[in-house]
Amino acid sequence: MKYRYIASEINGKVAEGEIEAEGPAEVLEILAEKGLRPISIKPAKSLSFASRSLFRGSVNTSDKVFLTKYLALMLKVGTDLLKAINILIDDFDKPAVKDILLEVRRTLEKGQPFYSTFAKHKNSFSPVFVSLIRAGETSGNLEKVFEDLSVSLEKEQVLKNKIRSAMVYPLLLLAMSFVMVMFLVTFALPKISGMFQTGSFEPPLFSKVVFAVGGFLGDYMFIFFPFLVVLIGGGAFFFIKTGAGRKIFFRIVDYIPVVSGVLKKIALQRFATTLSSLMRSGLPILDAIEITSEAVGNEEIRASLMRISREGISKGLTMGDAFKRERNFPKVVSNLIAVSEKAGHVEDVLDTLANFYETEIDVSIKALVSFIEPIMLLLLGLVIGGIALAVIIPVYQLVGQF
């Protein structure tokens, strides 16, 4: 929470400002360290959460890549952690990141664990990120952890960029199609249907239905459009943010071969990358698997990993045998884990699997776009063709009467 203070300096001058702290007691400690005598301390008036997020921004993947790369480099050349954080505070202009770094500095100055600050910001830093830093801090190997984190975050960013780039054209096509259809249905159709209604000619049933839909949408556009936006937004929130929604989403996706294949490969790539990093950091295998389950983004694989941890390895099964019991993992993955477990290099095999699935994802995304584009064009053609027929058929029949 942010507090506004008024205090007097040693020379008698009055100073005022704002401090981020957990309570008034912490504010007093900070002021005392600065040699200030408090006159007034009260909570600062702040904008709403949405406004703060809008103006202060958020910590994105690029910020985390820079942060981890920089800290890895500074630790490598022998700079202590607190000094590295101080330099970062001066370098970062983004308010959201700067606030977290200031909080990290206060945490370190109090002798508290480095990872604890990141653990408080669950929306910005995943459990995997926090666990890796915690393990690196405990083992004294933060430099290596930061290097691994920067590599995995870069791969994650590259994957997201590939997916976004691949979906730009289909989304643009969808938006333009929606605008075109809405224009035809709400503006063109009502005028055309009005021409037939004023005359004695009776259009066919198909045309009547299309004209009626166009007239309805034209009359209630200011109700229908906001309702459609709310419906799409609510549906996206339900399917992305809620557990029940994600389960339903993946069940639906299972019936779409190309899409389900891409999402499954993305989940397996995340599984291999995350578990490898956690195991290299020295985290116990049960903890590593359960943290990995929260990072894969696939409900079926998440449930499988939880069973592997709680019903397999914790009850005496080897890692390979526990994976072989789960059908959600391809046999090649289970067999490679079983073989590498006996040889003692599971992390290396997981890295190889992650690289393999990265290549497979590239190919699958291209296939997915090739699959989506013709379907969207076909649906657009059917809609516009149906509207055109609804207009052309009665016109043709009307001309035929003369």
**Residue 290 contacts by C-beta under 8 Å, 6 or more apart in sequence?**
305, 306, 309
User: Position of tokens 């202590």?
Assistant: 80
Helices vs strands, H then E, count in the chain: 18, 3
pLDDT value, residue 49? 40
The pTM score is 0.70
**CA atoms of 120 and 362, how far apart (whole Å):** 35
pLDDT value, residue 47? 42
- What single DSSP character describes residue 45? P
Least confident of 50-59, 357-366, 390-399: 50-59
Domains and CATH numbers, the chain: 2-46 (3.10.20), 59-151 (1.20.81.30), 152-402 (1.20.81.30)
Share of residues in the chain with pLDDT > 70 (%): 93
**CA atoms of 273 and 281, how far apart (whole Å):** 13
pLDDT value, residue 309? 92
Share of residues in the chain with pLDDT > 90 (%): 9
pLDDT value, residue 55? 44
How many Cβ atoms sit within 10 Å of the Cβ of residue 281?
A: 22
Condensed to tens digits (0 to 9), the pLDDT of residues 122-135 reads 888 888 888 888 88
Three-class HEC string of 274-320 = HHHHHHHCCCCHHHHHHHHHCCCCCHHHHHHHHHHHHHHHHHCCCHH
pLDDT value, residue 51? 40
Helix ranges (DSSP H) in 110-204: 115-120, 127-139, 142-183, 189-198
Q: Which is more confidently placed, 402 or 356?
A: 356
> Looking at the predicted structure, is the pLDDT value of residue 263 above 70?
yes
Q: Which pairing describes strands 37-43 and 14-20: parallel, antiparallel, or unpaired?
A: unpaired
Condensed to tens digits (0 to 9), the pLDDT of residues 19-71 reads 777 777 777 778 777 778 777 777 765 444 444 444 456 788 888 888 888 88
- Average pLDDT in the chain: 81
pLDDT value, residue 53? 43
pLDDT value, residue 201? 66
Condensed to tens digits (0 to 9), the pLDDT of residues 266-301 reads 889 999 998 998 888 888 899 899 999 888 878 889
pLDDT value, residue 54? 41
The angle formed by the CA atoms of residues 286, 291 and 294, to the nearest 5 degrees, is: 135
Tell me the pLDDT band of 305, cut-offs 50, 70 and 90.
very high
pLDDT value, residue 86? 85
Condensed to tens digits (0 to 9), the pLDDT of residues 364-375 reads 888 888 878 888
Condensed to tens digits (0 to 9), the pLDDT of residues 135-164 reads 888 888 888 888 888 888 888 888 888 878
Contact 41, 24 (CB under 8 A): yes
Condensed to tens digits (0 to 9), the pLDDT of residues 198-231 reads 666 677 788 788 778 777 777 777 887 788 889 8
pLDDT value, residue 10? 77
Q: What average pLDDT does this structure show over 76-97?
A: 83
DSSP sequence for 228-272: HHHHHHHHHHHHHHSHHHHHHHHHHHTTSHHHHHHHHHHHHHHHH
pLDDT value, residue 50? 40
